[in-house]
Amino acid sequence: MTFRVKSAVRGFGRPMTLLAGVALAATVVAAPASAAPAPPQPSRHHFSAAAQSFVGATTVPERVARLNAAMAKLPKEAGAYNATKLWNQGITGAGSTVATLVSFGDDKVKQVLDEYSRQHGLPPANVEVLQPSGAVPACTDPGVDTATCQSWGGETDLDVTMMHAMAPAAKIVVAATPVAETQGFAGLPEMMHAVDYLTEHRIADVVSMSFGTTEENFPSFESIKTLDPALERASRAGVTLVASSGDDGPSGSYLQGPGKYPYRVASWPASDPNVTALGGTQLHLDANGNRTQPDDLVNVADNGFSEGAGLSKAYARPSWQNRVKNITGSTMRAYPDISMEGVQGTSQSAPLFAGVLALAVQANHGRLGQINPALYSKLGPKGTAAGIVDVTKGDNSQYGVEGFKAGPGYDIASGWGTVDASVFVPALVKAVR
């Protein structure tokens, strides 16, 4: 089994030069004196428990076992979201390409996904691994934190499995970068370079980002926007960008050391208006995959964490959110925009929705572009007629920080709610044309 691995052939101009300089200057934005963070310690990516469970799993059977343990409901999720109705109509994601953007990746990802698929009656996957921002080190290389690297491998395996389970005929690209994304700018210049590579080479129709960093962890709120050019170029090229909303409720991790902010913060790139942000809900299914009750928000009591939701301090409310300004009560960008199953973290929700979008790309016979304007003006307000399923129960309060509550219609906690793919996909195709 071989991979076709590409290396960066050239830079992409000003954004990389600018971002590299900014990354070196990253500092903590001071929190209130009463909430001073712990003494500085190395910053780390906030991994879900599912991704962390891959630490020490180095063989394909071990990694598949971790997938099976973490994704107990996954084989039923396509049916729960009515994606199988689209499959029966020939809409399986064929001809579409969806990418996951990750640090390090997993060099065994295709073997892992193929074995998982064999066990669960899915077809073999079409997976390509790229290294557009430079050669990716092995988890055992000097200077590489093995646990972090292996957790990113777990994140990679989880992402591609969810994409494949929702859109089994879509091509999947793993865009692996050589620097770990942690908090602040660390690792993000390489990731944005990878986005540019995917855009310039017309590789991906949809890009999923299962990571996030607290806005307060950048040198300034304005400095965050230096990351936007790559996302803007992707959007102009018709690429749809999705990102997980986070797993810290209304709070977020400090730049250095343990602990969370004791007040509401936002997570980037979920807070970025260039992306569609995915919140986390939980499906309640019986043994046959049928819903036993409506979906509600992922919450601390049931899962040990809450899904991320909030208001950006960096980005003003985009025009397409003007329709909900009286609900948000803010002049700033609110997120998430929509939600899907996230009991393994919202790093589960984003690739699941990316899989739904892959189905829509096939149905549209081409790329969808930025879907948020259509979501807010044409789909969300129509509710179930456009495949939008309201989420009315749940609260994402966590770490002593008051969060946001789900309620009828649009709300900050869940966005417009979740989806019935069999109705949402054709409605989305009609809305973006």
In a domain, 5, yes or no: no
pLDDT of residue 277: 98
**Six token digits for residue 19:** 């971002």
Q: 2: how many CB neighbours lie within 10 A of its CB?
A: 5
In a domain, 34, yes or no: no
Q: Exposed, middle or buried: residue 331 (CB in 10 Å: 0-12, 13-18, 19+)?
A: exposed
Residues ≥6 apart with Cβ < 8 Å to 214: 183, 252, 253, 254, 255, 261, 265, 266, 267, 268
Question: How many residues comprise the chain?
Answer: 433
Do residues 282 and 303 lie in contact, with contact meaning Cβ atoms separated by under 8 Å? yes
Whether the CA torsion 432, 298, 122, 419 is positive or negative: it is: negative
Q: Exposed, middle or buried: residue 221 (CB in 10 Å: 0-12, 13-18, 19+)?
A: middle
For residue 246, what is the domain's CATH number? 3.40.50.200
Domain span at 377: 14-24+50-432
Task: Give the span between the Cα atoms of 361 and 105, in whole angstroms.
Answer: 25
Task: Give the span between the Cα atoms of 265 and 328, in whole angstroms.
Answer: 15
pLDDT of residue 71: 84
pLDDT of residue 44: 60
pLDDT of residue 258: 82
What residue type is 274 in one-letter code? Answer: N
Encode pLDDT of 284-321 as tens digits: 999 888 899 999 999 888 888 999 999 999 999 999 99
pLDDT of residue 302: 84
pLDDT of residue 45: 64
In a domain, 30, yes or no: no
Composition of the chain by helix, strand, coil, percent to 5: 40, 15, 45
pLDDT of residue 399: 94
pTM of the entire predicted model? 0.89
Total number of domains in the chain: 1
For 191, 211, 213, the CA distances from 188, given in Å and listed in that order, are 5, 10, 10
pLDDT along the chain (433 residues), means of 10: 32 31 26 36 68 94 93 85 97 98 96 96 96 96 94 96 97 97 94 98 98 96 98 98 96 89 98 98 91 93 91 98 98 98 93 98 98 98 98 96 97 98 98 95
In a domain, 3, yes or no: no
> Distance from CA of residue 393 to its chain's centroid?
22
Q: 92: how many CB neighbours lie within 10 A of its CB?
A: 21
Q: Exposed, middle or buried: residue 242 (CB in 10 Å: 0-12, 13-18, 19+)?
A: buried
Task: Give the span between the Cα atoms of 313 and 329, in whole angstroms.
Answer: 14
In a domain, 180, yes or no: yes
In a domain, 31, yes or no: no
**Six token digits for residue 181:** 């994304």
Do residues 145 and 187 lie in contact, with contact meaning Cβ atoms separated by under 8 Å? no
pLDDT of residue 289: 87
pLDDT of residue 36: 39
In a domain, 242, yes or no: yes
In a domain, 208, yes or no: yes
